Chains A and B, each alone.
Chain A
Amino acid sequence: DVQLVESGGGLVKPGGSLRLSCAASGFTFRSYYMNWVRQAPGKGLEWVSSISSGSTYIYHADSVRGRFNISRDNAKNSLFLQMNSLTAEDTAVYYCARVFDTMNRANWYFDLWGRGTLVTVSS
């Protein structure tokens, strides 16, 4: 099956760090741009970070730039999000999501999502 499975969420104290992982299967992971999207409890979706297929291009939302870092290991079909200096505002379900096709400008939407992993920042 084509799927994305996130892991690594949990309870962390303010100022702490956490590393999320996303395991991809059923498709050629190394060919796709990948992203992290988060959703705070009862709130909407917020794009967080993006990484190109070969890790050449990395983008972060202003809200996490300087604190979060996205990376990937194509040999292990895995995506990561290193989160540092966490605050209560980072509490959310974190989803990994795939960009459908970056070779065609019309196709830069997210066509595959994982089920998410919950990060709770609280003392």
Chain B
Amino acid sequence: DIQMTQSPSTLSVSVGDRVTIACRASQSISSWLAWYQQKPGKAPRLLIYKASSLESGVPSRFSGSGSGTEFTLTISSLQPDDFATYYCQQYDVLWTFGQGTKVEIK
């Protein structure tokens, strides 16, 4: 099974900050990685697919990078609506999620 490890588990940030979340795969997954945003009581929302492709309707302040085993989600300037939990997901072999990164108000 492919394991996904995110870091950090929690980020305390302020509006306007640049935010970077890391995701590491236990083996190479090429670029078969997605990022999701989830707010309390809501379903996850797709942000990024194929490691760096922005889903339609997602603000351009979100970006993804990486390939192989190391990936990054970046929010260029955090907005109030961005406080949420973020998950990476590999889809190279079945599907596995990272444990999540909570972005909270500093």
Contacts and interface: CB of A to CB of B under 8 A. Distances in A.
A120 interface: no
Contacts of A32: none
A11 interface: no
Interface residues of B, number: 24
Contacts of B45: 113
A43 to B, nearest CB: 8
Interface of B: 1, 31-32, 34, 36, 38, 42-46, 49-50, 55, 87, 89, 91, 94-100
Contact of A115 (B31, B43, B98, B100): B43
Nearest to B89: A109
Nearest to B38: A45
User: Which applies to chain B's interface (DSSP): helix, strand, loop or mixed?
Assistant: loop
Contact of B99 (A44, A47, A106, A111): A44
A108 to B, nearest CB: 4
B48 to A, nearest CB: 9
Nearest to A62: B1
B49 A107 contact: yes
B1 A45 contact: no
A92 to B, nearest CB: 13
A45 B100 contact: yes
Contacts, number: 56
Contact of A113 (B43, B91, B96, B99): B43
A111 B46 contact: yes
B97 A44 contact: yes
A24 B54 CA distance: 25
A41 to B, nearest CB: 11
Contacts of B34: 109-110
B32 A44 contact: no
Nearest to B46: A111
From A47, A62, A109, A115, name the one whose CB has the most chain B CB atoms within 10 angstroms.
Answer: A109
8 contacts: A45-B36, A46-B97, A100-B49, A106-B32, A106-B50, A107-B50, A108-B91, A115-B42
